[in-house]
Amino acid sequence: MLKNLRERMSPTDIVMWSIGGLLMLLIVWGSASTIIKGTYSARHWVDFVIFGLAQGSIYALIAMGYTMVYGVLRMINFAHSEVFMSGPYTAYFFAAYFYRSGLLDSHPVISLVLVFIVSMATSTLIAVLLERIAYRPLRGAPRLVPLITAIGASFFLQYVFRGLYGSGFQAYPVVTALEGHFALGPIRVLKFQALVIVAAGLLMVALYQFTQRTRLGKALRSVSEDKEASALMGIDVDRMISMTFMIGGAAAGAAGVLYAIMFKQVHFFMGFIPGIKAFTAAVLGGIGNIPGAMLGGIFLGLVESVGPSLFLDGLGIVAPYQLKDAIAFTMLVLVLIFRPSGILGERLAVTKA
């Protein structure tokens, strides 16, 4: 038994497991001492969790785009963060108009739906154009080529939108109907956070059902499984890839409006950080795997929101909230060490890219 174990563990494995073990120990120790110290009451923790859920469901929606594109094309679509930015930034002008004309207060549902539609349409358009112009000619190129193209497209889109709409922060109008909170038993939930969680949840369920139940969704999955075989089965691969970008774009557009509602501002650079986080979420969940992206997003959101107070406060670290991104990325490294294919495992036909 012991000999068997020694054969299976190489020295690097031992180093990796000890790094991981050390970090785990720190986490457990930190959490324990935070809880014993009792700086935060149960109310605080609930607030943290709800904020984390809201943030995480936004990450999850963006992560869908990354993971679906990765599943089909095996490329990191770096420009997806700009697809995410383009929607709410364009929709901002509609939202601001609705606000000025009072429609946002008198008919909040209609105007929000319109804002969502504009945002999703813009993001979808940008995503499809991106695929058509920048990525389609590169099918079959070595892996780094589309990656650099995506980085270039990301810069280009950022600065195009900066040129079009200006470089300042635009304050998203406050929706009065979403102010305040309501009580779910003893738990009080901010209304806009509830909207974010519910809307993102509905969208994700719809998307998942679409890929699992419809003929189109089946074709989509088949293309991500094996392009040649799908083409032989009469599936239009190019159209399916376009479709992937459309769905990813629409999800990102919706996520963008939710993000704008939550943080109340838009900016041409707003996509960068959520983009990286969402990609991290996709990897966490197991890239190419749609439920994995959802789970990864929510997990990441929760870790970011609960983590700093839970793990670091107990260790006596100053200003733990500054380290939330470090926690998120450490979590990523940990997951990759202990489970290199992500939480749910990747669903790729070929394991070697």
CB 199 within 8 Å of CB 258:
yes
Q: Which positions from 249 through 278 interact with another protein, judged by CB under 8 A?
A: 276
Q: Which DSSP category does 320 fall into?
A: G
The minimum distance between CB 252 and another protein, in angstroms, equals 18
- Residue 143 contacts another protein per CB under 8 A: yes
Q: Please give the sequence-ordered ranges of beta strands (E in DSSP) within 185-339, or none if there are none.
A: 187-190, 265-266
Q: Which is nearer to another protein, 6 or 213 (CB)?
A: 6
Note whether 305 binds another protein by CB under 8 A.
no
Among 15, 28, 32, 184, binds another protein (CB under 8 A): 15
Determine, following the binding rule CB under 8 A, whether residue 320 of this chain makes contact with another protein: yes
Instruction: Give how far Cα 53 sits from Cα of 105, 114, 305, 310, Å.
Output: 27, 25, 9, 16
Q: Which of 144, 183, 228, 232 binds another protein (CB under 8 A)?
A: 144
CA–CA distance, 206 with 232 (Å, rounded to integer) = 29
Q: How many residues does the chain have?
A: 353
Name which position in 128, 187, 246, 337 contacts another protein (CB under 8 A).
Answer: 337
Q: Which of 319, 346, 303, 343 is nearest to 23 (CA)?
A: 303
Candidate ranges 1-9, 33-41, 152-160, 210-218; the one touching another protein (CB under 8 A):
152-160
SS3 category, 184: strand
Q: Which is nearer to another protein, 147 or 343 (CB)?
A: 147
Q: Which of 71, 146, 274, 291 binds another protein (CB under 8 A)?
A: 146
Nearer to another protein, 337 or 343 (CB): 337
User: Containing H/E element for 80?
Assistant: helix 80-101
Q: Which residues from 164-203 bind another protein, rule CB under 8 A?
A: 164-167
Distance of alpha carbon 219 from alpha carbon 210, whole angstroms: 11
164-186 burial: b if 16+ Cβ within 10 Å, else e: ebeeeebebbebebbeeeeeeee
Residues near another protein (CB under 8 A), total: 60
CA angle 320, 324, 328 (to 5 degrees): 140
Q: In the stretch 210-249, what mask flags binding to another protein with x, by CB under 8 A?
A: ----------------------------------------
Binding region for another protein (CB under 8 A):
10, 12, 15-16, 19, 70, 74, 76, 93, 134, 137-138, 140-149, 151-160, 162-167, 276, 279-280, 283, 287, 317-320, 322-323, 325-326, 329-330, 332-333, 336-337, 340, 352-353
